[in-house]
Structure formats: C-alpha cells, structure tokens
Amino acid sequence: MGNIYDQNEITAAHQTLPLGTKIMVTNLDNNRSLEMPVTDRGPFAKGRILDLSYASAQSLGAVGPGTIPVRIEVLDGPIPVSTIRATLDYTLQLGSFSQLQNAHELRDRAKSHGEVYVVPIQTKATTYYRVRLGTFTDRGAAEEKAKQVAQAGFPVVIMEK
C-alpha cells in the first residue's frame, strides 16, 4: 500500500483484494508456499486470479511454466478478515463479477464440481456477484476441493464464510 512496484520484491497483484492485504500463496503443483502483500491491481488476463512479481514467481517455482495453479489464503489486511469464532466454515470463491450474467455463466460451467451458488454483495457504488462453491467445516476438505477445482482450470480462493 503506497509502495512502488518492484519485480525483485516479494509481491502480488489481485483485482479485488484491498492493497496491503497479506496473503499466503501455495503452488499446488509443488506445494511451495510464500507469504506476500498485495501491492498492485491485476491480472487482467482471462482465467487468471493473481499476478506474481518475478521474485515471488521464482520462489514458488512458476518462472519456467509461466502459470501455475495456486491456493490463496488471506492472512491479514487493512480491512478485518473475520471476527474470531469458535468454528469456521469455508467456501471456495471462483469469481466476482459486476455483471450477473457473467456470474451465472461461471456458475453453470462449474456446477459439475458441486453446489455452486451466486452471492450478491452490495457496496456503495455497485453490486458484485460472487460465485462460490460448497461449504466446508474442515479446512483440509476445502483445500482438497480447491486443488481439484484449480486443476480443472478454475481460479480458486478459499474464503471464510
């Protein structure tokens, strides 16, 4: 937040997470994980959920392949991630759209992977339609399903419900 992008720093770009959010990114091909801040907006390429700086990509083993399936966990941010609860439920977020039709199209493409639903989120300026898959009471089960869905080509973020 407020930093100049440097490809040699451990950073990432995400379209919707607040700048300054700390995330843990795991390469699902080799299980390497790396904590990094979101410092920029992007990616803007279809089907991608995260852009990594060169240093981040190198640490995660993504430089050769160019793209990798990842799991993203929000660790901390300028906006509170959640209130502490005795139990947590998880869901997988596959996308967030300002156009309801786009959310419905993704929902229909992903329905073979389980219970997929659209959740409207109202902000002051607009409504976003988040496409989510399932409810998991166990973090491990959410991670396993996220891996399967990512390998099928869908961008996935594990979210606390």
**Contact between 15 and 41 (Cβ < 8 Å):** yes
pLDDT digits (tens, 9 = 90+) for 43-85: 877 778 889 999 999 999 999 888 888 888 888 877 665 533 4
Would you call 26 exposed, middle or buried from its count of C-beta atoms within 10 A (0-12, 13-18, 19+)? Answer: buried
Nearest to 30 by CA among 72, 75, 70: 70
Q: Which CATH class is domain 90-160?
A: alpha beta
Nearest to 134 by CA among 153, 156, 103: 156
pLDDT digits (tens, 9 = 90+) for 12-39: 998 778 888 899 999 888 989 999 999 9
Model confidence, pTM: 0.51
Is residue 106's pLDDT more than 90?
Answer: yes
**Side-chain-side CA neighbours of residue 23 (13 Å):** 28
90-160 shares the fold of 12-76: no
**Contact between 121 and 93 (Cβ < 8 Å):** no
Q: Which CATH class is domain 12-76?
A: mainly beta
- Annotated domain spans of the chain: 12-76, 90-160
2: left (phi over 0), alpha (psi -120 to 50) or beta: left
Helix, strand, coil percent values for the chain (each to nearest 5): 20, 35, 45
